[in-house]
Chains A and B, each alone.
Chain A
Amino acid sequence: MPSSVTPLSNVTPPSNATRPSNVTPPLIDVRDLRFQYEDGTAALQGITFRLEAGETVALLGANGSGKTTFVLHLNGLLSGKGRVEVCGLAVEPRNLAAIRRKIGLVFQDSESQLFMPTVLEDVAFGPLNHGLSPHDAIHRATAALERVGMSAAADKAPYHLSAGEKKRVAIAGILAMDPEILILDEPTTFLDPIGQRALAELLANLPQAKILVTHDIPFARAICTRAVFFQNGTIAAAGSVEELVTRFGWDFALEPAKSKP
């Protein structure tokens, strides 16, 4: 990503301007979603959630509260009880191909997301699967790598990259698919402060609706239009990032660290 970036605090959340689309809101409509893992853990206990066009929503909450499990339901990687619709399509086997064109999911562990022999091939993997010609897929992949500042790594093997570089390539792999909705699970993990600011700027300027699963409160405050707080597999509250972190006692994460005498 470019090194000339503004401070995170100066990044402004996007307005509700939407990109041209023939899809009517809400983009995501989840009703009473419940899911239990095979070991009996009730990970989701009645989630109801909507994402409108142009929104950027932070999913906050403690580890194990159900945030990642929830987003894995949005493109059919997990399947629970309840109603999940994406762009008017029910998340069920016959719609999965179309839904996965509309949702780009950046996984928490970018090691898992990079599996092709070179960075360029990995970023082009999604566009190729979505029917683009090799020429167009390379064009998309090159442009996406440019956006995240990883053009120079196009011919490298992903295994050679640092953790932060892998994260940026994983994000490029999703941007290359040009989805309607972006879901990013802990996007700032492994990114240095400059990389975090650049990512915040990049996301703030993207027209897609976004869901961010994050513990990075300043990052969420910088780019999210609203937030929901997960607790024990339920959405305990919704509001602005400031309201929620204050209500749940996470506001210390917004304060600058104080040095001890």
Chain B
Amino acid sequence: MHHVVLERWSRGASPIHRRDPRAKLAALLVFLVVLATAHRSLPALALALFVLLSAALLWARLPLMGALTRACIVLPFTLVFAAAAWLSGDAARGLALLLKSYLSALAVLLVVSTTALPVLLRGLEMTGAPRFLLMVAQFLYRYLFVISEEGQHMRKAAVSRGASVGGMVGNGARFRAAAGALAVLFARSYGRAGDIHRAMLARGFLGHFQPLFVLRFQTRDAAFAVLASLAPVLLRAAVERAL
């Protein structure tokens, strides 16, 4: 089975991967605040922050182009609002929206690509995030795999019986078949999700996941948190002073 790329990336062994999730979350929070509150010299600051994130991606030994491309996932949503701002005569606001949303997505991607999900959730839990919300996130993550796996099974079965996925546009029968397959996919995934829940209950699941590991916040985690938080602050100060 193929698996989500981020899950594979998060199992790396770089210095950033080894840092405590709370240190990374603190740095991420500072980065997002610095970015969100920036108004002056935004294109130059955005370029500087982009270089900073790219350097961090390389330090984390993640594929740079792959990460930069994946962060574009937010653009279809923000493009709509950016276009509306541009059409209303405020092109600068539209550009700011695009830059901020892309860089925010890239920063979040950097954190989730360098922290295994259970560790990240554990870190969030220890910082006081609601446990119920975290459990929903964990189930969502697992069930994404379920849908992905069921979809791949169905695709193999369809292709092995001569189906082709291309040419749906203008072909009503093929479109209806695809729509039906999608409905079956969700029905099958729902059934599988029920099986998984039963298997969890059978092994004593009582409503929350027990942690297998204990997080220890070390001196180097604190140093990382301070330096990684200072970097965007100093960059912003330098850019605003220079321009």
In the complex, the chain A residue whose C-beta lies closest to that of B202 is A105
In the docked arrangement, what's the CA distance between A103 and B199, Å?
12
A128 within 8 Å of B (CB atoms): yes
Tell me if B211 is interfacial: C-beta within 8 Å of chain A: yes
CB distance from B136 to the nearest CB of A (A): 15
- Expressed in whole angstroms, the Cα–Cα distance for A72 and B214 within the complex equals 35
The answer, yes or no, to whether B204 is at the interface (CB within 8 Å) is yes
- CB within 8 A of B203: which of A117, A120, A173? A173
CA of A107 to CA of B197, assembled, Å: 12
CB distance from B42 to the nearest CB of A (A): 38
B70 within 8 A of A: no
Question: For B210, what are the chain A residues with a Cβ–Cβ distance below 8 Å?
Answer: 128-129, 134, 137
Give A230 to B212 CA distance when docked, in angstroms.
41
A142 to chain B, nearest CB (A): 12
B90 located at the interface, meaning its Cβ lies under 8 Å from any Cβ of chain A in the complex: no
Q: Are A134 and B196 in contact (CB under 8 A)?
A: no
Given the complex of chains A and B, what is the CA–CA distance between A129 and B205 in angstroms? 6
The interface size of chain A toward B, counting residues with CB under 8 Å, comes to 33
Q: Does A124 contact B (CB under 8 A)?
A: yes
The answer to whether B201 touches A115 (Cβ under 8 A) is: no
Check A109 for interface membership: any CB of B closer than 8 A: yes
Bound form: Cα–Cα A115–B206 in Å: 15
Residue of B nearest to A137 (CB): B212
Known: A125-B203, A137-B210. 19 other contacts (CB 8 A): A97-B204, A100-B203, A107-B199, A111-B149, A112-B195, A112-B198, A115-B196, A115-B199, A115-B200, A121-B212, A128-B211, A129-B210, A134-B213, A137-B212, A157-B3, A159-B145, A160-B1, A160-B3, A173-B203
List residues of A whose CB falls within 8 A of some B CB. 72, 75, 77, 97, 100-101, 103, 105, 107, 109, 111-113, 115-117, 120-121, 124-126, 128-130, 134, 137-138, 157, 159-160, 173-174, 177
Sample (22) of A-B pairs whose CB atoms are under 8 Å apart: A100-B201, A100-B202, A103-B202, A107-B202, A109-B195, A111-B149, A111-B192, A112-B195, A115-B196, A117-B117, A117-B118, A126-B203, A126-B204, A128-B212, A129-B203, A130-B204, A134-B211, A134-B212, A134-B214, A137-B210, A159-B1, A159-B145
4 A-B pairs closest in CB distance = A129-B204, A128-B210, A112-B195, A126-B203
